[in-house]
Structure 1
Amino acid sequence: MTDLNIIAATDTPLPALPFTGRHLIGGDWVDSDDGATFERHSPAHGTLVSRSAQGGQAETDAAIAAARAAFDAGVWSRISGKDRATMLLRVADLIEANVDEIAVWETLESGKPISQSRGEVGGAADLWRYAASLARTLKGDSHNTLGEDMLGVILKEPIGVVSIITPWNFPFWILSQKLPFALAAGCTCVIKPSEMTPTTTVRMGELLVEAGLPAGVVNIVLGHGLPVGARLSDHPEVDMVTFTGSTAVGKTISASAAGTLKKVALELGGKNPQVIFPDADLDGAADAVTFGVYFNAGECCNSSSRILVHEDIAEAFVEKVVALSRRVAFGDPMDPRTQVGAIVTPEHNAKIDGYVRQAEAAGAKICLGGGALTVPGMDGQFYQPTVVAGVTPDMPIARDEVFGPVLSVLTFRTLDEALAIVNGATYGLSAGIWSDNMHTCLDFARRAQAGTIWTNTWMDGFPEMTFGGMKQSGQGREIGSYGLEEFLEIKTLAMRIGKTRAAWVR
């Protein structure tokens, strides 16, 4: 560990008092009826960060009722696209004005580096602005070729009340991949953030209130999956559930929602490969691989946690990645120099290590790391940058979502062999290829089973480019114009012009 780049604890002052989070229901900030609360401690510092109201079925039902009443009243669903866009732009401005403060809470609750939190929160404003542009350009279709006495119109209307259930790894960003698009469509919403990272969602609610969003359009219930998430999934007055998280929980939500046949959109896990050919820019590829596996401590559905390297260059390429990995700054997430922060819970830290130990026992070679990381002056849980070579496709570390700073290295000989390994996973979120031969890149892009394909880059994203997975990585799409479409219902309007309908009864 002495040859790693470790950032020791800094003297950055932390908030003097924990954040107090309450539910937002019908425009009012309220505690739970029974007074129950839950706490979140910093995974890096061990200090108390927030104390939040713990919701139950009563609070969830009240929030759904408020969203339903607001939707049916039309205070949001029937106003103009211009007025909705104006509100979304106002929220974007407020987000940008509060980036530094919101980022601190994000870092303290999640363990991610403060520089990344600032980028995540600040970047979310762009999602709100893009959604605002969609609110003004939303349109249906018309058919004027049905005969001189008929006109057909296809209307796109808001689907109704939407439950938004978000995860702990990107709490502010992922909320902004969903909420502004649902609002642009005219929906009303009930949000349940992860119980591990509730505070930035509450801060979002405060910004919405400050912006003047009508009461009941957005509601927030804090608490656990049982009962809050379950109730948001099966309540008959909810028209749609959008969830980001694990595949296992996504399947549970689908089952719960089936009772009322509500729409379900799921952004789930991934086991995302990068395939490296000998003719690629190997220095650029090694840097992208290093970024892809350590970004957000690997606690990212888009993490490139497995790479497939052509056997002719495998040894040299792994050496490049190991050398770069030693330079990545792990440590105190409050230090702007830090690139990788803390692991979200001790239990998750142990789970990550379990995959590494299992791979080692099966014959894989640990080229770097492979254990908990001690950061001087920090009372939290960290994991070392870890590179595991000699991995075979049947190993759990090559198939399961480890969700940590652990890279699995596999080798291949031909494109067909690489594609067989890539498509052999149950997931299909994203995949990448590195080659200077565009024929190879395009062939891979056409045949790889993944919702996003990157060629000679990794994890570039834009609000215009939609995101979502195939197979057990989920269903539906987020951001882009397709992300807006998820929150719309299609209605056909057939209009007869004049009294031209022939009598049926004679």
Structure 2
Amino acid sequence: MSDLTIFADQTTEMLKAPYQARHYIDGTYVDSADGRTSERISPSHGIVVSQAALGSAVETEAAIKSARAAFDDGRWSRLPAKDRAAVLNKVADLIEQNVERLAVIETLESGKPISQARGECNGAADLWRYAASLARTAHGDSHNTLGADILGVVVKEPIGVVSVITPWNFPFWILSQKLPFALAAGCTCVVKPSEVTPSTTAMLGDLLQEAGLPAGVCNIVLGYGDPVGSLMTTHSDVDMVTFTGSTAVGKMITKSAGDSLKKVALELGGKNPQVIFPDADLENAADAVTFGVYFNVGQCCNSSSRIIVHEDIADAFVERVVALSRKVVFGNPLHADTQVGAIVTPDHQAKIDGYVKEAVAAGAEVCLGGHHMSVAGLGSQFYEPTVIRGVTPDMAIVREEVFGPVLTVLTFRSLDEAIALANDSTYGLSAGVWSENVHTCLEFCRRAEAGTVWTNTWMDGFPELSFGGMKQSGQGREIGKYGYEEFLEVKSLVMRIGRTRAPWVKMA
């Protein structure tokens, strides 16, 4: 443990009192009808960060009713796109003005480093601005070749009321991958954040109100998946569900939403490979691998938790990654230099540790880490940066989403073997390839079964580029033009100009 880079200083200013998170329904903040609340204890600092209203069917029904009424009367859906865009741009401005307030709460609730929380909240503003631009530039098609007296027009209309369910690991970023695009399309929404990290979503209500979003267009209900989330996915007044979270819960949502044939968009788990060829820039590749597995404490659907390295360079490359891993700064998430913070819950920490212990028992070699640990003054909810080799493709630690700072190493001999190993997964969210040979990179990109493939980089993302997975990593897309179109229905208008239609019934 002494050869790791640990930062335990606690001099950063803390919250003066827990944040009070409340439901936001029909433009008003409300408590739960039964008065129930929940508390979030910081995984890194052990303090009460927030006290949140705990929703029931009462609040969920009210939020859905409000969103339905707001959609049906057209107060948002029938506004000119430039007016919707103006509100979204104002929200982006307000997010930027409140980045520090949002980031501190998110850091304390989730355990992630504050530098990453600042980046997440600041970057979210760009998603709102890009969604605003799509509101003004979306269009359909026209067909004037259907006959001299026929004009066909294809229009795109908002799908209706959308249930937005978000996870705990990137609460503000993932909300901003969904909500502004649904609003840009003219939809109205009911939002449920994770009960683990509810506060930044609740705080967004203030910004929406200040930006001039009409009451009822976005409603926020806090609470657990049962009853809040389950009602949001089955209610007859909801037209679409967009969910980010585990594959197991995504499958449950698909089944429950199927009874009413709601549209469902899912962004689920990943077991993402980076493949490193001998001719790669190994220094940059090792740095990207280290970033990819430890970013957000490894609690990231895009975590590159599985590297596949050519056997000729495997020993040297692993040594390089281990050396970099020792220099990764972990500890107090509120310090600007910290790169790896706390694990979100004790149960999740135990799950991570279980994967590591099981792999070791099966013969894997721990090159670094492999234990949960305590940080002076901050408690024991931390896990060492961990590198494991000597694994086999059938091990759970290689096949399942560990969701922690744990890297596994496989080796290959040929391009075909590397692609086979990369695709040997039930997931297909993202993948990466490292080589200076453009032919190698292009073939890998075309054959990799993943929604995003990075070449000589990792986790570069842009609002213009849609995100989503293949196989059990989900369905549908988020952000970009394709993510925006998830919230639109296509309607064909067939118009006969003049009275040239031949009668079907012949009159005598």
What's the offset of the Cα at 1:130? 0.4
The answer as to whether partners of 2:92 and 2:129 remain within 8 angstroms in 1 is yes
Query: Which SS does the other structure have where 1:109 is aligned?
Result: helix
Q: Deviations over 1:444-494 (max 9, x none)?
A: 000000000001000000000110000000000000000100000010100
Q: Distance in 2 between matches of 1:501 and 1:234?
A: 44
User: 1:428 touches 1:473 (CA, 8 Å); kept in 2?
Assistant: yes
Shift of 1:375: 1.0
Q: Which moved more, 1:48-57 or 1:373-382?
A: 373-382
SS at match of 2:309: strand
Cα displacement string for residues 285-324 of structure 1 (whole angstroms, at most 9, x for unaligned residues): 0000000000000000000000000000000000000000
Matching of residue 305 in structure 1 with residue 302 in structure 2 = no
Give the alignment's Cα RMSD to 1 decimal: 0.6
Match of 1:448 in 2: 448
Aligned residue-pair number: 506
Rounded Cα–Cα distance in structure 2 between residues aligned with 1:316 and 1:358: 26
> SS at 1:260's partner residue?
coil
Structure-1 separation of matches of 2:443 and 2:267: 26
> 1:318-339, CA deviations, whole angstroms, 9 ceiling, x for partnerless residues?
0000000000001000000100
- Listed one character per residue, the Cα deviations across residues 324-379 of structure 1 (whole Å, up to 9, x for unaligned) are 00000010000001001000000000100100001111111000000012211112
For 1:181 and 1:472, locate their aligned partners in 2 and report how far apart those are by CA, in whole Å. Answer: 24
Matches within 5 A, 1:484-503: 484-503=484-503
Structure 2 residue ranges without an equivalent (≥5): none
Give the CA deviation at 1:13: 2.1
- Superposed counterparts of 1:103-142, under 5 Å: 103-142=103-142
1:385-404 to 2 correspondence within 5 Å? 385-404=385-404
SS at match of 1:275: strand
Give the equivalent residue in structure 2 for 1:93: 93
Q: Distance in 2 between matches of 1:485 and 1:376?
A: 49
1:56-455 paired onto structure 2 within 5 Å = 56-455=56-455
Q: Is residue 42–residue 108 contact of structure 1 (8 Å, CA) maintained in 2?
A: yes
Larger CA deviation: 6-15 vs 387-396:
6-15
**Correspondence for 1:34:** 34
Partner of 2:463: 463
Give the secondary structure class of the aligned counterpart of 1:394. Answer: coil
2 CA distance for matches of 1:502 and 1:115?
70
Query: Quick check: 2:112–2:342 contact (8 Å CA) kept in 1?
Result: yes
Matched residue type, 2:412? F
Q: State the 1:56 CA deviation.
A: 0.6
In structure 2, how many angstroms separate the alpha carbons of the residues matched to 1:259 and 1:228?
18
Which amino acid is 2:251 matched to? Answer: K
Contact between 1:352 and 1:402, CA under 8 Å: does it hold in 2? yes
The code of the aligned residue for 1:218 comes to C
CA distance, structure 1, for counterparts of residue 298 and residue 304 of structure 2: 8
Q: Distance in 2 between matches of 1:459 and 1:245?
A: 18
Question: C-alpha distance in 2, partners of 1:24/1:403?
Answer: 31
Letter in 1 for 2:113: P
Partner of 2:9: 9
Question: Helix, strand or coil for the counterpart of 1:214?
Answer: coil
Q: Is residue 298–residue 405 contact of structure 2 (8 Å, CA) maintained in 1?
A: yes
- Letter of the aligned partner of 1:444 in structure 2? F
Q: CA deviation at 1:390?
A: 0.9
One-letter amino acid matched to 1:156 = K
Give the CA deviation at 1:10.
1.6
SS at match of 1:155: strand
Name the CA distance, whole Å, in 2 between partners of 1:85 and 1:466. Answer: 20
What is the SS of the residue equivalent to 1:231?
A: helix
Contact kept in structure 2, 1:40 and 1:51, CA below 8 Å: yes
One-letter code of the match for 2:100?
D
| Partner in structure 1 of residue 19 of structure 2 | 19
Q: 1:113·1:332 contact (CA, 8 Å) conserved in 2?
A: yes
CA apart distance, 1:424: 1.1
3-state secondary structure, aligned to 2:489: strand
Give the superposition deviation at 1:16. 1.4
Q: Distance in 2 between matches of 1:500 and 1:78?
A: 33
Q: TM-score, normalised by structure 1?
A: 1.00
Q: Is the 8 A contact 1:84 1:135 kept in 2?
A: yes
Q: Distance in 1 between matches of 2:398 and 2:500?
A: 66
- Please list every run of 5 or more consecutive structure 1 residues that lacks an aligned counterpart in the other structure: none
Cα separation, 1, equivalents of 2:392 and 2:226: 38
Aligned with 1:354: secondary structure? Answer: helix
> Does the 8 Å contact 1:113/1:340 carry over to 2?
yes
In structure 2, how many angstroms separate the alpha carbons of the residues matched to 1:373 and 1:387?
A: 16
Q: Answer whether contact 1:46 1:380 (CA < 8 A) is retained.
A: no
Q: Secondary structure of 1:46's match?
A: coil
Return the offset for 1:501.
1.0
Q: What letter corresponds to residue 310 of structure 2 in structure 1?
A: H
| TM-fit CA distance, 1:380 | 4.6
Conserved? CA contact 1:45–1:380, under 8 Å: no
Amino acid at match of 1:486: E
Deviation at 1:264, TM superposition (A): 0.1
**Contact 2:373 / 2:380 at 8 angstroms: preserved in 1?**
no
1:83-123 Cα deviation digits (max 9, x unpaired): 01100000000000000111000001000011111110001
For 1:205 and 1:215, locate their aligned partners in 2 and report how far apart those are by CA, in whole Å.
Answer: 10
Amino acid at match of 1:133: S
Of 158-167 and 2-11, the range deviating more from structure 2: 2-11
**Offset of residue 435 of structure 1:** 0.4
Alpha-carbon distance in 2 for matches of 1:405, 1:112? 12
Match of 1:45 in 2: 45
CA distance in 2, matches of 1:24, 1:380: 35
Q: Distance in 1 between matches of 2:339 and 2:445?
A: 30
Mapped to 1, the partners of 2:199 and 2:308 lie a distance apart of 39
User: TM-score, normalized by length of structure 2?
Assistant: 0.99
State the SS of the aligned residue for 1:68. Answer: helix
Distance in 1 between the 2:204 and 2:409 partners?
Answer: 40
Identity, in percent, stands at 72
1:167 match: secondary structure: coil
Counterpart CA distance in 2 for 1:325 and 1:193 is 32
CA contact (8 A) 2:372 2:380 kept: no
Deviation at 1:9, TM superposition (A): 3.1
